[in-house]
Each structure stands twice: as structure tokens, then as C-alpha cells.
Amino acid sequence: MLVIVATLAFALLSVHFELSEVIFNWTRARETYQLDELPGVLLVLASALAWFAWRRVRELKLELERRHAIERELATALETNQRLARANVLVQEEERRVLARELHDELGQYLNAIKVDAVCIRDAGDPRSAETRRSVLSIIESADHVQKTVREAVRKLRPPGLDELGLPAALENCVDGWRKRLPSVSFELDAPAECPSWGEAVNITLYRVVQEGLTNVAKHAQARHVRISLEQPRIRDELGPVVLRVSDDGIGAGATNKDGLGLVGMRERIESLGGQLDTSAREGKRGEGFCLVATLPVTESINP
């Protein structure tokens, strides 16, 4: 439209001022320089520039088509990668569940049998034999130590209560464990009593994020108060994404550790579910505290 308006305006001005006659009178006195051929030269130049612009437009169009094709391929590859990552999470958690069950049922059972036998030997043995009693007590102590180690390994492999009682109970159990490890720190858990069915991948990912967040608090934050909140706000009368926050009132050192391997793994895990992990949000004054925010969309499409 601008080109058309400019052309019409120039045509009207040319007619009004008789531009061709003015140019002819000006160039006739300078015939030696052949200035009267200038309009033809300018016409050829304008035509060449128009052809060049048309060719560039065509090349840009082809380049855009190639770029769109590459972007579609990248989007397909990203979707495939996310689907494989989600499947890998589920397979990994299933292997952990089976391993935890085997450790609990098989190894725990035999350790308990060894301890029972040792206790029987201690109670039925000759009290005058100090060596026998010392050996039996050593067996009992070793069995107790191995049982404690097995329980800790089972707890790390599979969150206790997640399958039977759900995510809120598992988070409460996790927070209780940290309360015992860090008695000087107050922990607050704000989670719904009952969560809707978010799926295995979402539940275990949220639990692992809480684990990683509390680990970073213990290592770096020097905090006195830690708050964990889990909610699924409504957006336009519909349930939105699940939002998990782990915040503290410490020195804000978590921001300097946001590229640690633990958080990098959590970010990849969350992004594979179509979510987002924000490690830069803070609460309170500038430079005080650290807040870890995980946002996960809860749709059927996130399950492989």
C-alpha cells in the first residue's frame, strides 16, 4: 500500500510540475555527458533491483520452509525424548520397587532368623562361657546393624507409604525423618490430606524434588525454618498444574548451587514430564532465603 501511494503521489507531482520536460531541458544543455540517457539507465537499475529483491524473497521463503521442517523434526525428536525419559523413570522406579521388596522380604527375613537364633543361643547357652556369650552378642549386634542398613536402603529405593498411603503420607514421613536429623530446624508441610490420582511418574517426581530440596537445605542453607507446600490451584474453574515449593529462611546459598548434579537431574526429570523447575525464586528480603518451585502439568498425556 505504501508503494502504491508513493507511486500515485509521484505521478501526480510529475504531471503537475511537468517533470519530464524539466529533466529534458536540464539534460539538453549537457548533451556531452549523455545525461539524457539517465532515465533509461535508472529504469534498468530499478528493474535489476526488483529482480534481485524477488530472488532474495524466494530464497528466504525456501530457507523459512527448511527451518520450519527442521523445527518440526526437532519438536518430534523432543517429544520422543520426553516420552522415553518418562518411560525410563517408570522403569527405574519399578526396578527400585522390586529391589526394595526383595531386600525387605528375603534379606530382612533371613537376618531376623539369624538374630532369633542368636538370641536363643544366648538365652540357652552356658552363662559360664564368656566367649560364647560374647560371640552371640556380636552376632546380634551385627544383625541389628545390617537390618538397619537394609531398612535405610529400602527407604532410599522406595519412599515408604507411597504405594499404600499416597503422596501426602510419604511426604510427611520424609519430613519426619528430617525433623529427627535436624532438630534445630522447624519443618512445615502444607499438603492436601488426599491428592487426586496424578499418576506414578508425577508422584515419585514430586517426592524426589522434596528429597533433593531438603538435602540442599541441610547442606547449604543454614536455615531455621523450612516450608514445603503442595497445591493444585484452579484456573478458570479447572484444575491447573501441580505446584510444589520448598522454601527456607537461610542465607540463600541454594542459588549458588542451582547447577548441582542433583538439581540438574531433577530439572531434566521435571521437563520430561512437561513441567518447569525454578531455582531462582526467593522469599523475604533480597539475598535471604531460597525457594525451589516445581510446576507439573497433570494430564493423561504425561503417562507413556
pLDDT at 288: 64
pLDDT of residue 258 exceeding 70, the answer is: no
Residue in 204, 246, 214 with CA at minimum distance from that of residue 229: 246
| Burial (CB count within 10 angstroms: exposed 0-12, middle 13-18, buried 19+), residue 117 | middle
pLDDT at 48: 95
Give domain limits for the chain.
2-79, 165-304
Residue in 163, 174, 228, 171 with CA at minimum distance from that of residue 197: 163
Mean pLDDT of 3-24: 86
Q: Is the domain defined by 165-304 classed in CATH 3.30.565.10? A: yes
pLDDT at 286: 43
Pairing verdict, β 225-231 and 242-248? antiparallel
Mean pLDDT of 183-201: 83
Alpha-carbon 125 to chain mean position: 60
pLDDT of residue 284 exceeding 50, the answer is: no
pLDDT of residue 50 exceeding 90, the answer is: yes
Count the helix, strand and coil residues of the chain and give each as a percent rounded to the nearest 5: 70, 10, 20
